[in-house]
A = this chain, B = another copy of it.
């Protein structure tokens, strides 16, 4: 598909029932929409239907501004959770970092290549260290040093900043602070984290050290949505790399960096292309 056509993408989930694909595709067709991509899935255990459908808005009879209103009755009938995004809507991203540069670097670099249909609106850190990267790419960099005592106040300020900047998606790019339940709930399924292990193995601190001590032959990285249980949110993407007895802990960290970069970037791209639906503790990824 050419990139300059205006397209709409609907993500919808609802209790499974007969005729959903037919109703939805007909609804779009009758309004002049040409479906350019449709993928669906049924969770057979919980009987939930998931669909992602994208259509060309070129000759669509409903103007972009009235899309939500138009689909309201249909989706209400299905008792659905749903959203519609336009290809022209650039999501606004905030990246949270601490001291490790590699994930931020990767996101900024790929963003420059046009891999993410989004705007990186700001970078938040508890350390000043990566300010140089923000400067290089001309993105506002906000430092909120966190101590045990000021954690709550600092997070309040971050939350306020995020809210004021109209942030849609938060990326924890090796951010070494645990977010409070309040923060997490404010952006449910819109906060992505990269954890440097193949979860659920080696959750928590120092996963490479854990992996090294356990003597595994494979290390991994996991991109997941953040929930209020640490490293337990719905998994978006994972990948692994082989290691051997020759690899020191430093080698694991070095090899793992490559994984973290790739897995976070892939997860973020899937999220920004509205390819992910959350199904309880799991994700449906229409890639």
Please give the residue numbers on chain A whose beta carbons come within 8 Å of chain B beta carbons, in ascending order.
1, 18-23, 25-26, 28-30, 34-42, 44, 102, 105, 109, 113, 115, 136, 198-202, 213-218, 220, 234-240, 244-246, 248, 254, 257-258, 262, 279-285, 287
The 5 A-B pairs of least Cβ separation, nearest first, read A215-B282, A22-B29, A201-B201, A22-B25, A245-B284
Please name 20 further chain A to chain B contacts, defined as beta carbons within 8 Å, in addition to the given A21-B38, A38-B40, A215-B234, sorted by A numbering.
A1-B44, A19-B29, A21-B35, A22-B25, A22-B26, A22-B28, A22-B35, A41-B246, A105-B109, A198-B201, A198-B216, A198-B240, A200-B202, A201-B201, A214-B235, A215-B235, A216-B238, A217-B237, A217-B285, A245-B282
Chain B nearest Cβ from A52, distance in angstroms: 12
Asked whether A217 and B238 contact (CB < 8 A) given A29-B18, A35-B21, the answer is yes
- Taking the nearest CB of chain B, how far is it from the CB of A2, in angstroms? 8
Q: How far is the CA of A220 from the CA of B285 in the complex (A)?
A: 20
Whose C-beta in chain B lies nearest to the C-beta of A211? B200
Across the interface, name the chain B residue whose C-beta is closest to A115. B254
Q: Given A19-B29, A21-B38, A35-B22, answer yes or no on A283-B235 (Cβ-Cβ < 8 Å).
A: no
Decide: A240 and B240 in contact? CB cutoff 8 A: yes
Q: Which residue from chain B places its CB closest to the CB of A51 in the assembled complex?
A: B38
B258 A262 Cβ-Cβ under 8 A: yes
Q: Which residues of B contact A19 (CB under 8 A)?
A: 29, 34
